Amino acid sequence: GAGVSQTPSNKVTEKGKYVELRCDPISGHTALYWYRQSLGQGPEFLIYFQGTGAADDSGLPNDRFFAVRPEGSVSTLKIQRTERGDSAVYLCASRRGGGQGDTQYFGPGTRLTVL
Amino acid sequence: GIQVEQSPPDLILQEGANSTLRCNFSDSVNNLQWFHQNPWGQLINLFYIPSGTKQNGRLSATTVATERYSLLYISSSQTTDSGVYFCAVAYNQGGKLIFGQGTELSVKP
C-alpha cells in the first residue's frame, strides 16, 4: 500500500478482555516498530521486528503484551487481561531497511480505550 | 538512556510569523527525525536529519551532531502548521526512536 495502515482505528474494550491490533507496513519494508502514545506525551517504543523476528522487545511493559510478525509483513500486537492504564494510541511504523533507508514512517494509530 | 528535550513546550504565533523549535539530546545519535503530528494524530515525516542542513519549502532543519542539538525553522507560518512537533533520535540508524515531549504550535489567523 501507499502508507502504513492500522486496524481498527478505534477499539473500546472492558477491563480484563483480550485485544489484537493489526499493522500493515509499507510494501517491501523489512523493519516494523510498535510505539504507544499517551495523552500529552511523545510516543514510547514497545518492540521492533527485523523480518519475522523481534530484534528488540525491551519496551514491552510486561508479559501481558506480545507481538508477532509471522511472515515478515503484517504484525499483530496482542494485549491480554487489559487494564485501564493500557488506554493509549498504539502506533506502528515501518522502515525500508537493508541499508536502503533509515526513515521510519508511521501509521495513523489505533486508539485503545479500556473501560 | 538518552534524554531528548524540546523547547519551547508551547508556542503561539500570528499567521505569517517565523519560528525556531529546538531539540537537545544527551548522547551521540545516528538517526534524528522531525515529525509534525496533526490534529487527527497522524505523525507526518518532516526531515530525516542526523547531521547537516535540509530545506523543504517553508521548513528547514539543522542538526549539529557534535553539540547534540537540532533546530527546526518554520517561516511564514500558516494555520495548517498548527499541531505538535516532535523530535526523535536513535543510537543507531535502524533502532528504536526516542521522542521528546514535543512543541505544541498554534498559528492564529
Report, as an integer, the average pLDDT of B10-16.
Answer: 97
Nearest to A85, CA basis, from A43, A45, A46, A39: A39
- A102 close to B (CB below 8 A): yes
Q: Mind listing the pLDDT tens digit for each residue in B57-90?
A: 999 999 999 999 999 999 999 999 999 999 999 9
The helix (run of H) or strand (run of E) holding residue B37 is strand B31-37
Nearest to A104, CA basis, from A4, A1, A9: A4
Predicted local confidence at residue B98, as pLDDT: 96
How many interface pairs between A and B have CB atoms less than 8 angstroms apart? Answer: 53
User: Distance (Å, rounded) from C-alpha B53 to C-alpha B3?
Assistant: 22
Nearest to B9, CA basis, from A41, A39, A45: A41
Interface contact flag, A102 B48, Cβ < 8 Å: yes
* B15 close to B108: Cβ distance less than 8 angstroms: yes
Cell 525553522 sits on residue: B73
Nearest chain A residue to B90 by CA: give it. Answer: A102
- A43 close to B (CB below 8 A): yes
Q: How far is A43 from chain B (nearest CA, A)?
A: 6
Q: How far is B39 from chain A (nearest CA, A)?
A: 12
B16 — pLDDT class (breaks 50, 70, 90):
very high
Predicted local confidence at residue B89, as pLDDT: 95
- A91 close to B (CB below 8 A): yes
Q: Mind listing the pLDDT tens digit for each residue in A22-66?
A: 999 999 899 999 999 999 999 999 999 999 999 899 999 999 999
User: Distance (Å, rounded) from C-alpha A106 to C-alpha B78?
Assistant: 24
Predicted local confidence at residue A2, as pLDDT: 82
B39 — pLDDT class (breaks 50, 70, 90):
confident
Q: Mind listing the pLDDT tens digit for each residue in A59-110?
A: 999 999 999 999 999 999 999 999 999 999 999 999 987 665 688 999 999 9
Q: How far is A82 from chain B (nearest CA, A)?
A: 23
Distances from the Cα of B57 to the Cα of A36, A97, B75, B80, angstroms: 31, 27, 9, 14
Interface contact flag, B97 A105, Cβ < 8 Å: no
Report, as an integer, the average pLDDT of B18-31.
Answer: 95
Across A33-54, b (16+ Cβ under 10 Å) vs e yields bbbbbeeeebbbbbbbbbeeeb
